[in-house]
Amino acid sequence: MKVTLLSDDTTKSRATAAERPKHPAELTPGTEEVVSGVWKITLPIPFPLRTVNIYALVGRDGWALVDAAMGTPEARAVLAEGLERAGLELRDLRALVLSHHHPDHIGLSAELQEQSGATVYMHPIDAAIMQAMWHGEHQRSFAQANQFFRPHGMPPLEPTVSSQLPPEVLNFVIRVPTAEAITCVEDGAEITLAGEHYRVIWTPGHSDGHIVLFRERDGLLLAADHVLPRITPNIGLYSEYNRANPLGDYIQSLEKVRHLPASLVLPGHGEPFRNLARRVRELIRHHAQRELEILSLLGRRPQHAYQLAEQVFGPRLKNDEARRMAVAEILSHLEHLRLGGYVRQERTDDGLILYAAV
């Protein structure tokens, strides 16, 4: 999962606690019908955010599911209760849309597809990443990321928890469909889910192949982790194999959805919300402020990404996973600034990559 508690929200100073949406970690797992025929099932996840939302879209002839959480025993119990409350059975599941490849959105996908025969939709970029990561390559992906971070000042880190789990345990929690079971959908594709038409919108940034779904009929936007109500999604550069400018991608993707006539936004974490355009403005402003902060720090001296992460996030770097996410996020800002001509790279004799203000 790459939604982070590291990034602060930009609305806090302008709203009272009562006015602000709840933090995802404050939500209680459970099920509710948010609009007619659309059920939000909030499931527990073993990460700091604590919960993830998946959405059941119900029609006359079966139903569809957007995202698949993780297969922990706790999540399985809540999902079973949620489907029973909504009156849904797995044999009637016709389609499963996976918004992106992060584990808290795909963990039960193979199991659900196998039990129902549902069609699985996903963007080809994240479908390929998902196959590479979760069909025997997870440990290698971790090693590649560590190697990528090393010249940016990252000290040696402990392996991720998932990379240390026995295969039988990991497959119980995270198991994904085979490539042959996935129908890839590109930007602008129209798909029918539970009798309703949805437009697929490719929104790279949080992941390279992230997608959202927009229902033209009534303005319903299933936003996954693209636009969140209380926190900012982690926008990080994790590998030389990722798209080169994830923050630039993200800002363009925000502009892409900014003027959609969205009546209600259903996020992957947190509560449904309205006023999409305002939230997009807040997210863009947050990243602009973060870049100004980084430029101010670089005004003192050239620094590598890990030095900057320590200064920007400080005591929030409580474990190695938080450090990985923080450095990746700082790198996405640095590369966005570098490509814009605001900073440059310098290499030290011992191989470290420093960034300096232009």
pLDDT over 90 percentage in the chain: 79
pLDDT score of 17:
42
CA atoms within a 13 Å half-sphere pointing along the CA-CB vector of 119: 13
Mean pLDDT, all residues of the chain: 91
Pairwise CA distance, residues 248 & 337, whole Å: 9
CB neighbours of 137 closer than 8 A, spacing ≥ 6?
Answer: none
pLDDT over 70 percentage in the chain: 91
Segments making up each domain of the chain, as ranges: 12-289
Q: How many other C-beta atoms lie within 10 A of the C-beta of residue 87? A: 10
Q: How sure is the predictor about 18, in pLDDT bands with cuts at 50, 70 and 90?
A: very low
Query: Which H/E stretch holds residue 77?
Result: helix 73-86
The answer on pLDDT for 47 being more than 70 is: yes
pLDDT score of 157:
76
Tokens 């930007």 appear where? 187
Mean pLDDT of 192-217: 98
Model pLDDT for residues 241-273, shown as the tens digit of each residue: 889 999 999 999 999 999 999 999 999 999 999
As a residue count, the chain comes to 358
With H, G, I as helix, E, B as strand and everything else as coil, classify residue 243. coil
CB neighbours of 100 closer than 8 A, spacing ≥ 6?
Answer: 123, 126, 206, 207, 209, 210, 211, 224, 225
* DSSP structure string for 119-184: EEEE-HHHHHHHHHHHSS-HHHHHHHHHHHHGGGTPPP-PPPHHHHS-HHHHHHH-----GGGEEE
Pairwise CA distance, residues 52 & 270, whole Å: 8
pLDDT score of 338:
98
Model pLDDT for residues 317-351, shown as the tens digit of each residue: 988 889 999 999 999 999 999 999 999 999 999 99
pLDDT score of 139:
60
The answer on pLDDT for 283 being more than 80 is: yes
Contact 170, 162 (CB under 8 A): yes
From the candidate CATH numbers 3.40.50.970, 3.40.50.10490, 3.60.15.10, 3.40.50.1360, the one assigned to the domain spanning 12-289: 3.60.15.10
